[in-house]
């Protein structure tokens, strides 16, 4: 992660402030590295054997790792018991046992290394998304819940991993994704939070959204790609140290706010206009609207699947062969369920069930955005239920205050999606 110091700003500073607060500070999370943040960094450094210079470089980031990810590897010392350790970390014996399958609480060995989760949730609701946040969340979730699989399905233009998580063992394979569009990053938090809630419910043998988590995971194998466009997210939330030429591309579109209006990948290609389903029609429509060059949004690219992020998701979807997909976007509280009348018969009834649990409205995609999207391609080539869910209301990027209502509205859809096609 980049060096942060007095005067730095953006979502990485928010992440730093979150970590310092988890450690014990009480900073306002505003993404501005000012005097209070600098004092908190110095105090942290002094207490952790680091030079207290107030600059967050490699060593300080490394020392903060447990507070970014929510766990620490602890080496057992004489006198340690799981009960005492759990109390010390603000967690429960059960959470420690979940993170360390097969551990025998009655015969801890001195020198044995165990994963100690903290008591706070891994996925925050108070910081904007960055690719670093996604990395930390998945690392933290995998440590707490070893039954969660995490791997890469590709790399972004800037070489960032495109993560895909897997949970469950059932035959009903479903695949959810979020943040094709950079300034719709709040959907990444929605899917990460769902993963955490689902894993936590499974670990305590409890329920989620009115269903048994164990039953859900026996029925379905859920794959989640929480951030299809990590570079674009970093641009929008101020987590990049340079602009990689985006500012110049944005100059061709002076009416679109920069970088807040950026939806595309870092090369100015709209990742949800990249799929081989009416791509030429999408090109015609978008060119007529004036989106003829790489820019913040709506540029279809030089050809279908020319952006590595879309190509990677396309290939991953082919290899997983899911029974149902959900593609998360923001704006309008609607559910798009069809493409060119190719959706199977079960799609509309499922959209109606989603509507019943969310309050969202099933709709047909407006023609101007009716081609070359991920769900369009999925419906066309698989003839299975595929949905674009437009979550939340207001202008993108939606503020973090929308996360709670989006979570409440969508929990039912996320749970139902795992079982509705079984």
Q: Which residues bind Zn ion (CB under 5 A)?
A: 181, 184, 329
Quote the DSSP letter at residue 399.
P
d(CA 149, CA 129): 21
Tell me the C-alpha to C-alpha distance, in Å, between residue 421 and each of 166, 325, 343: 18, 11, 14
**Please, what is the minimum distance in Å from the beta carbon of residue 263 to Zn ion?**
6
Instruction: Collapse the DSSP code of 124 into the 3-class scheme (helix H, G, I; strand E, B; otherwise coil) and give the result.
Output: coil
C-beta closer to Zn ion: residue 184 or 234: 184
CA distance 261 to 350: 32
DSSP state of 198: H
As measured in angstroms, the least distance from the Cβ of 382 to Zn ion is 21
Angle (CA) 22 23 26, round 5°? 70
Q: How far is CA 84 from CA 70, 77, 109, 120, 214, in A?
A: 18, 12, 15, 18, 29
Taking the complex as a whole, the smallest distance from the CB of residue 374 to Zn ion amounts, in Å, to: 10
Q: C-beta of 353: minimal distance to Zn ion in Å? A: 23
Residue nearest to Zn ion (CB): 329
Which of residues 29 and 326 has its CB atom nearest to Zn ion in the complex? 326
Of the two residues 181 and 193, which places its CB atom closer to Zn ion in the complex? 181
> Are the C-beta atoms of 56 and 4 separated by less than 8 Å?
yes
Is there a contact between 213 and 206 (Cβ–Cβ < 8 Å)?
yes
Among 391, 390, 160, residue whose Cα is nearest residue 266: 160
Q: Give me 135's structure tokens.
A: 């990395």
Q: Specify the DSSP class assigned to residue 29.
A: -
* 390 carries an active-site annotation: yes
d(Cα 409, Cα 361) in Å, to the nearest integer? Answer: 12
State the nearest-atom distance from the C-beta of 348 to Zn ion, in Å: 22
Among residues 200 and 264, whose Cβ is nearest to Zn ion? Answer: 264
Asked if residue 93 lies in contact with residue 82, where contact means CB atoms within 8 angstroms, the answer is yes
Query: Of 284, 390, 393, 395, which one is the catalytic site residue?
Result: 390
Q: Which is nearer to Zn ion, 166 or 297 (CB)?
A: 297
Q: What is the DSSP code (8-state) at residue 361?
A: E
Q: What is the DSSP letter of 180?
A: S
Q: Which is nearer to Zn ion, 196 or 376 (CB)?
A: 376
- Counting beta carbons within 10 angstroms of the beta carbon of residue 5, is it exposed (0 to 12), middle (13 to 18) or buried (19 or more)? middle
Can you tell me which residue has the tokens 């950026």? 262
**Residue whose C-alpha is closest to residue 363's, from 353, 351, 373:** 351
Q: Specify the residue, 160 or 329, whose C-beta has the smaller distance to Zn ion.
A: 329
Helices (H), 48-170: 58-69, 82-89, 93-99, 131-144
Residue from 248, 287, 286 nearest 267 by CA: 248
Nearer to Zn ion among residue 261 and residue 278 (C-beta): 261
Q: Where are the beta strands (DSSP E) in 124-219?
A: 149-155, 161-167, 172-178, 207-208, 211-212
- Backbone conformation region of residue 44, classed left if phi is above 0, alpha if psi is from -120 to 50, else beta: alpha
| Residues designated as active site | 390
């Amino acid at each position: 992660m980049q060096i942060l110091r007095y005067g730095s700003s953006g979502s990485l500073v928010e992440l730093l402030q979150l970590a310092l607060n988890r450690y014990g500070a009480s900073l306002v999370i505003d993404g501005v590295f000012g005097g209070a943040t600098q004092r908190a960094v110095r105090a942290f450094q002094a207490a952790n054997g680091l030079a207290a210079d107030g600059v967050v470089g490699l060593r300080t980031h490394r020392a903060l790792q447990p507070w970014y990810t929510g766990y620490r590897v602890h080496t057992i010392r004489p006198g340690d018991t799981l009960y005492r350790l759990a109390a010390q970390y603000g967690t429960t014996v059960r959470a420690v046992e979940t993170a360390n399958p097969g551990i025998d609480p009655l015969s801890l060995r001195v020198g044995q290394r165990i994963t100690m989760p903290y008591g706070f949730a891994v996925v925050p609701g108070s910081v904007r998304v960055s690719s670093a946040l996604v990395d930390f969340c998945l690392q933290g979730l995998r440590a707490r819940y070893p039954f969660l699989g995490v791997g890469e399905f590709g790399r972004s233009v800037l070489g960032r991993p495109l993560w895909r998580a897997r949970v469950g063992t059932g035959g009903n394979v479903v695949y959810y994704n979020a943040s094709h569009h950079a300034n719709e990053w709040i959907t990444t938090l929605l899917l990460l939070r769902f993963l955490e809630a689902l894993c936590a419910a499974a670990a305590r043998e409890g329920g989620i959204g009115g269903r048994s988590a164990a039953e859900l995971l026996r029925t379905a194998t859920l794959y989640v790609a929480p951030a299809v466009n990590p570079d674009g997210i970093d641009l929008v939330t101020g987590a990049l140290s340079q602009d990689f030429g985006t500012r110049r591309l944005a100059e061709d579109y002076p009416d679109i706010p920069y970088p807040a209006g950026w939806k595309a990948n870092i090369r100015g290609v709209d990742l949800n206009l990249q799929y081989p389903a009416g791509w030429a029609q999408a090109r015609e429509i978008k060119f007529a609207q004036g989106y003829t060059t790489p820019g913040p949004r709506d540029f279809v690219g030089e050809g279908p699947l020319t952006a590595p992020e879309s190509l990677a998701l396309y290939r991953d979807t082919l290899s997983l062969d899911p029974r149902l997909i959900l593609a998360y976007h923001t704006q309008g509280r609607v559910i798009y369920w069809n493409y060119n009348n190719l959706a199977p018969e079960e799609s509309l009834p499922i959209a109606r069930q989603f509507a019943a649990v969310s309050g969202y409205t099933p709709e047909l995609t407006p023609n101007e955005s009716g081609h070359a999207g991920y769900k369009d391609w999925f419906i066309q080539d698989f003839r299975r239920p595929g949905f674009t869910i437009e979550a939340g209301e207001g202008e993108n990027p939606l503020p973090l205050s929308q996360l709670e209502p989006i979570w409440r509205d969508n929990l039912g859809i996320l749970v139902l999606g795992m079982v509705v096609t079984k």
